[in-house]
Every structure is written in structure tokens, then in C-alpha cells.
Amino acid sequence: MTQLSPRLAQATPVIAERGEGCYLYGTDGRRYLDFTAGIGVTSTGHCHPHVVRAAQQQVATLIHGQYTTVLHQPLLELTSRLGEVLPAGLDSVFFANSGSEAVEASLRLARQATGRPNVIVFHGGFHGRTVAAASMTTSGTRFSAGFSPLMAGVHVAPFPTAFRYGWTEQEATDFALRELDYIFATICAPAETAAFVVEPVLGEGGYVPGNTRFFQGLRERADAHGILLVMDEIQTGFGRTGKFFGHQHFGVTPDIITMAKGLASGFPLSGIAASTELMAKAWPGSQGGTYGGNAVACAAAIATLEVIEDEHLVANAAERGTQLLDGARRTAGDAIGDVRGLGLLVGSEFTTDDGKPDRERATAAQQLAAVKGLLLLTCGAHMNVVRMIPPLVVSADQVDTALSIWSDVLTEV
Ligand code: PMP
């Protein structure tokens, strides 16, 4: 009998049979409160009836229409609907299947548009697992181990992570921007730099929100040198942070946005958005793939946008996010060095008595939570941050239940 690769490290013992709202039902007959949402994907909750209906109807109408051959209605309608939520000026979109592909699309576009070879990424960033995306990922050595050489032209600058250095946010930001200028002056000339690629909140890197001064510093340098600012909104987009896009917390507008995850409630769909003028600089034939912008995924995405609006999920993410972050801060005992987040991205960083990353206790806590019926994940370079990313439909009662389980877990570990 064939078995799943033992290299797939499964975070919980759950075999999911069915999902509904914020719950997953396992083959063990148990109900689990899902605070992982398929890693920030099922924002409308598992199997939202409106999304299910839209997908079912589309399956029976047209499943696939490859967009370099024929356009189709769901693709056109989704394009126009995205125009209502994207920042002004980002009026052109392009679709792929996964987050990594969207990151690669943004990289290709930035290099083609500027004619420059280099990209600057930020320490602790995660951008995916294809070779180019993994080359731009610095949130853990595990993501690029064993398949060097990686893509050339990637330089890494600091992200302002105050907690790690025992600094204030101001000190961390000053340091990050100073180092960026030093990188410009030494190893990566601005005139050879195509793009900054950055997450509004480090996701896999440990749920570290950026800040206004930092992103405005990037925007100023981008404008001064003709560098494109790419915001990787794959984990932070579609309401997750309590605003429609994460960068909207920081008063900057990017040149390119990558999107995936929360876009289509679990159907594989990703994309990039940019100005029409910029998007026109992509070389014909260099972007795209067989399955990008699949008709069923687009129909699910349209329904997802409708649910986000009709059920006020962005506002709910902001309110429930504050409840969750405050609760996690109140509950944190000695084992946790920092609790941080933005909206419904909340991370608790486990540290040892001498301040070192404590992966062992983070893993124990995450696994004990699953036994108690609460699904959580870890993240961070040392996998010592336990993260909570519930569906955006989560209720105040469900947040209280999760916090109560979390409190019991912390007492026991
Ligand atoms: N960028 C960010 C910010 C992500 O969080 C992820 C996925 N965790 C990716 C890119 C890669 O997406 P995918 O796994 O769909 O390739």
C-alpha cells in the first residue's frame, strides 16, 4: 500500500471529514474549533453556503476556460469586483493558482518593467516554496535547505522586529532603514534594484506587524530611485488584519499587490494587482499558466467578496482581533516573551527563562490545544510562535472558548 510522504510533518493528528463555519469535524468523531483556517484561507468559514452554491452552479456551467484562449464571465466579473476593493490606481489584475506563483509573477513583472536584476526582501519574510519564491524567503532555513544554488539577485535587509532585540519600535525601525541605506551604499545599488518585496505583517516569520514609519521609509526610497514596492498580501489581504489590505494600516500604496489565500475561501486562486501602465510592461507570454483564473475558483472568489461585504467581515476581524490579542496578552504566563498581531493574526512567542526561542514548549502547547479541541499552528524561524488565525466569521463566544482552552493549555505546559 502506498503511504503519504513521511516528510510531510503534520501539525495535528486530525483527519478532517467535514467543515462548517469555524469548526472541523474529524474522522475520530470529534469537533474541533479551527483557529488555523487552512493557514488563513477559509476566511468565510468552512463551506460557507453562499460560496458552495456559487461553486456548484459554476461547476455545472463551465469548469475551465483557459484565459489566453477564451475569456469567461467569472474571470471578467471578478476582475471588475476587485476594482471596488483594490487601492485607486491598481486597476489591472492577473490571476494564477498559488501564492508562490503570484510572488513569481510580481518578480517577473518588476524585473521586466525596470530592466533591473536585484530585489530587496526583508528578514523573516516568507514568499513561498518555488525556487524563486524560496530564494526570497528568510523566515527559516528549512524553506530553502538542500536545493541550492538559489536565485541570484536577492538581497536581505532587516525588518523592524523590536522584541527580538529588546528595542522600541522606533529603535528597530531606525536600525532597519539605516541598514537598508548601507546595503544600497555597499552591495546593491538602488539603480540596479527592481523592487522591495515585503509583507505588511511577517506571517510565517512570526506574526510581526510592520509600522508606518518603516513602510513610508520604503515608499520614499522606492520613489527616489524608481524601485517598485511590492506588498505581499497573500496572508494579510481580504480583511484578515481588520482592514481590507494590510498595507492600509500604514498609509502607503504599493505598486504591486500579491494576493491569494482569503481571496477564494479555499479554491486555488491567486493574483497580482498593479496599474495598467505597469502591467503592460510584462512581456507577452511570460506570465500565466494553464489553470490560472479557473472559472470555478473565480466564481467562489466573487461569492467570497460578497460574503466579506454582506457579513461585515473586515469590521469583525478588527473587533474579534482586538478581543483575541487582548485575551492572549492577559493569559500569557512566564513561558511567553511576546504577544503581538494585527486583526485576526495573533502570535504568542514562547521563550526560555534566558530569552531564547522555546520551540519545545510552543510545540507542546500547540499539540495539547488540539487534544483539547482547538486547532492552532506554529510559525517563526524557530517555530516557537503559536499563532491564531481563525476564519473571519469567528464569533465573540468562539474567541472566548479558544482563549479559555488556551489558558488551560498554558497552565499545563
Ligand atoms: N506569501 C505569503 C505572505 C504567504 O503567507 C504564503 C503562504 N503561507 C505564500 C506567499 C506562499 O503561498 P502558497 O503556499 O500558496 O504558494
Going by the DSSP 8-state scheme, the letter that residue 42 receives in this structure is -
DSSP codes joined into one string, 177-217: HHHHHHHHHHTS-GGGEEEEEE-SEETTTT-EE--HHHHHH
Please give the tally of structural domains in the chain.
2
Q: Which three cell numbers stand for residue 315?
A: 469590521
Q: For a pocket test of ligand 1, which of 41, 100, 107, 258 has the largest count of ligand atoms closer than 8 A to its C-beta?
A: 100
Question: Which of 310, 329, 363 lies at the terminal end of a domain, its last residue?
Answer: 310
Other beta carbons within 10 Å of 161? 22
Q: Is residue 133 part of a domain?
A: yes
3-state secondary structure 43-112: CCCECCHHHHHHHHHHHCCCCCCCCCCCCCHHHHHHHHHHHHHCCCCCCEEEEECCHHHHHHHHHHHHHH
Domain contains 251:
yes
- Mean pLDDT on 397-413: 97
For the Cβ of 103 lying below 6 angstroms from any atom of ligand 1, the answer is yes
Residue 7 reports pLDDT greater than 80? no
CB of 393 closer than 6 angstroms to any ligand 1 atom: no
Question: Do residues 35 and 68 share a domain?
Answer: no
| Strands 154-157 and 118-122, bridge-based pairing | parallel
74-116 pLDDT, tens per residue? 999 999 999 999 999 999 999 999 999 999 999 999 999 999 9
> Within this chain, do residues 364 and 303 fall inside the same structural domain, yes or no?
no
Per-residue DSSP letter, 21: B
DSSP 116-178: --EEEEETT----SSHHHHHT--S-GGGSTTS-S--SSEEEE----HHHHT--HHHHHHHHHH
What CATH number did the domain enclosing 253 receive? 3.40.640.10
| Mutation pick for ligand 1 pocket among 127, 208, 256 (CB with most ligand atoms within 8 Å) | 127
Tens digit of each residue's pLDDT (9 = 90 or more) over 207-249: 999 999 999 999 999 999 999 999 999 999 999 999 999 999 9
Residue 259 beta carbon below 6 angstroms from any ligand 1 atom: no
Name the residue of 42, 130, 208, 235 whose CB sits within 8 Å of the most ligand 1 atoms, as the mutation to test its pocket. Answer: 235
Q: Which of 310, 345, 380 is a domain's end point?
A: 310
Instruction: Let me know whether 403 and 278 are in one domain.
Output: no
ipTM: 0.99
Whole domain around residue 376: which residue ranges?
Answer: 16-47+312-412
* CA gap 324, 33 in Å, rounded: 14
pTM over 0.80: yes
In this structure, the answer to whether residues 143 and 242 fall within a common structural domain is yes
Check whether residue 24 and residue 65 sit in a common domain.
no
Cβ–ligand 1 contact at 143 (below 6 Å): no
